[in-house]
Amino acid sequence: MSGSATDQQASLSVALKQRAIAEGFNPVGIARLPGSPRLQLRTEALERWLNQGHQADMNWMAAPRRRDASLLLEGAKSLLAVGLNYHVKAKSEPNALRVARYGWGRDYHRVIDQRLRRIGRWLSTQRPECRWRACVDSAPLLDKAWAEEAGLGWIGKHSNLIHPQRGSWMLIGHLLMTEPLQPDSPSRTLCGRCTACIDACPTEAIREPFVVDARRCIAFHTIENRNQKLPEAIEKALGPWVAGCDICQDVCPWNHRNLPDSDDPEMQPRPWLLNLSRDDVKTWTDSDWNQHLKGSALRRIKPWMWRRNAAATQPDPTTTL
């Protein structure tokens, strides 16, 4: 490649990342397909995870396209990885039912998708021949492995991506594109000898470092499990968690630093999510729920599931009732 083409690639890469930061994303980074050999290892880890049945009934996890990002966009050469910080100042009320932080603000799928598309449209003005595709969860992509490849952070032993200054409270999206861009360096693993997340998980869902068995995970059961009754072992361990579970991230030392709070208006919590009681859950009608969950990622939890989950919760042992 000629020197000037390399320079053009470099300046487009910088400009694209600046656009992403202007959209409220931080950290941001770029990776080249097909990725380093480490990405191959992560893909093999997915294979093992599926073979062990850790996906529970999320059969969509087995989609072959998840193993090869180039199948999501023909001719894809690079991707822009973006992180959206959802750490906010507000806290749950001490005796309230607990709702995982990722669901406090507006549905992150919509927020990230809209912003990525704006970046994509800008890219089209710079490179009209370039094709792109915004991916946030909805597309079968190994989000964390690609974000790690693009330097957004490392995959911790609880399997979430951690940024050294921002912790793990970030949601991830990607813009796949046919344009070859200049890649950033992949992140290094910084968990060291720590095992706090593995020790704190009440259901022993982190079977070994980096491997979460969804069949044992409270987040899976409260959000995805469509059975009328939760397994007994989950009911016993649920504590106050009615929607998702943040325990393994709450105990992580990388989340105990002075983390920047997001002032993004779309990430600010809906007040009712911080102060939800069993009585609210019992008495709200389906249409009350529809009203409360408008534009929320927690819509995935149907009203009957909120009732099922709440009925199984126990008071938080760390608070006095």
Q: Which residues are catalytic?
A: 137
Does position 248 bind ligand SF4 by CB under 6 A? yes
Binding mask 160-199 for ligand B12 (x = CB under 6 A): xx------x-xxx----------------x----------
HSE value, Cβ hemisphere, 13 Å, CA-based, for 57: 6
Residues 6+ apart with CB under 8 A from 22: none
Other C-beta atoms lying within 10 Å of the C-beta of residue 89 = 9
Q: Any idea which residue has 């990725």 for tokens?
A: 35
Residues between 60 and 119 that touch ligand B12 (CB under 6 A): 61, 100, 102
| DSSP-assigned letters across all residues of 251-289 | T-GGGSS-PPPP--GGGSPPGGGGSB-HHHHHH--HHHH
**Alpha-carbon span 115 to 304, nearest angstrom:** 32
CB of 179 or CB of 213, closer to ligand SF4: 213
Q: Which stretch in 23-31, 61-69, 113-121, 189-197 sits in contact with ligand SF4 by CB under 6 A?
A: 189-197
Q: Which of 9, 46, 88, 316 binds ligand B12 (CB under 6 A)?
A: 46
Q: Of ligand B12, ligand SF4, none, which one does residue 96 interact with (CB within 5 to 8 Å by kind)?
A: none
Does position 158 bind ligand B12 by CB under 6 A? yes
Q: Which of 119, 177, 181, 245 binds ligand SF4 (CB under 6 A)?
A: 245
CB of 68 or CB of 126, closer to ligand B12: 68
Q: Which stretch in 110-118, 143-151, 153-161, 294-302 sits in contact with ligand SF4 by CB under 6 A?
A: 153-161
Q: Which of 12, 245, 267, 293 binds ligand B12 (CB under 6 A)?
A: 245
Does position 156 bind ligand SF4 by CB under 6 A? yes
**At its nearest, how many Å lie between ligand SF4 and the CB of residue 149?**
18
Q: Of ligand SF4, ligand B12, none, which one does residue 56 interact with (CB within 5 to 8 Å by kind)?
A: none
Site residues for ligand SF4 per CB under 6 A: 156-158, 191, 194-197, 201, 203, 205-206, 212, 217-219, 245, 247-248, 251-254
Site residues for ligand B12 per CB under 6 A: 42, 45-46, 49, 58, 61, 100, 102, 136-137, 141-145, 155, 158-161, 168, 170-172, 189, 210-212, 214, 217, 219-220, 223-224, 244-246, 248
